[in-house]
Amino acid sequence: MKERPLILVTNDDGITAPGIRNLIEIMNEIGDVIVVAPDSPQSGMGHAITLDSTLSCQKVVIDDGPQTEYKISGTPADCVKMAKSELLKRKPDLCVSGINHGTNSSVNIIYSGTMSAAIEAGIEGIPAIGFSYLDHSWNADFSKLKSAVKQIALNVLENNVPEGIVLNVNFPKVESDFKGVKICRQARANWEEKFDKRVNPQGKEYYWLTGKFVNMDKGEDTDEWALANGYISIVPVQFDLTAHHFIQNLNTWDF
């Protein structure tokens, strides 16, 4: 009998978030699941790791599923590091992160704790996927994502994803069915940030970060286009940040 794959599940919304609870349920249909996730929301943490304080790790039971679960007091990247170094007896066959409450398309990947957990797994040589849903509601309906999430995970298990590549998967919020899957590139977009300056009752100034997402990319091969048109977007992401195309030019400079 073929051994069931070992699947590491994590996220950035916290171990009790509906997104990860749905993802755990789906992964239980595929393999043996171990959950290592933050004990509280860690959205926007990017690839932060805990260096100047201690970490706690506690085994927990949240529902009656067959999975083994741990909650960690650190970041999503901490969770993957802790799983590989301390909690797992062997390297997992797959790491899935999410399902995030909100999109992680385009430049948002830089800030995303969801994707940073997946990327950390990729750095460790573990095939990895980050799943996000363009619905920020805590009560978002994840049921329509189940079939696609399962199929994408099975594809990664069955096919050889090159080392150094992680899949960034985003689901649009649609009224009916998804139109399909689009393999995309990351759209060229950014945030036009503003800081809302306020004063507290004691007279001390403080700020709230606000902003507007601006998509400058008109291409129809981007994740933003796919999501806007009802498609699931899949972007292959690499964590080698070297601008290889600029090396030859840089070598002509007089240093």
pLDDT tens digits, residue range 190-202?
Answer: 888 888 899 999 9
Residues forming a β-bridge with 215: 189
**Average pLDDT of the chain to the nearest whole number:** 93
Reported as a single tens digit per residue, the pLDDT across 51-95 is 889 999 999 999 989 999 999 999 999 999 999 999 998 999 999
* Whole-number pLDDT of residue 122: 96
Checking if the pLDDT of 2 tops 80, the result is: no
* Whole-number pLDDT of residue 211: 83
For each of the domains in the chain, give its residue range(s) and CATH number, in order of start: 6-186+214-250 (3.40.1210.10)
Reported as a single tens digit per residue, the pLDDT across 203-225 is 999 998 888 878 888 889 999 99
CB-CB contact of 95 with 125 (8 Å): no
pTM over 0.85: yes
Q: How many CB atoms lie within 10 A of CB 230?
A: 16
CB-CB contact of 165 with 183 (8 Å): no
pLDDT band, very low/low/confident/very high, at 1 (cuts 50, 70, 90)? low
Alpha helices by DSSP H, listed for the chain, are 18-28, 76-82, 113-123, 146-158, 223-228, 244-250
Q: How many CB atoms lie within 10 A of CB 204?
A: 8
The 8 Å CB, 24+ separation contacts for 214-221 are: 214/189, 214/190, 215/106, 215/187, 215/188, 215/189, 216/188, 216/189, 216/190, 217/106, 217/187, 217/188, 217/189, 219/185, 219/187, 221/182, 221/184, 221/185
Reported as a single tens digit per residue, the pLDDT across 92-136 is 999 999 999 999 999 889 999 999 999 999 999 999 999 999 999
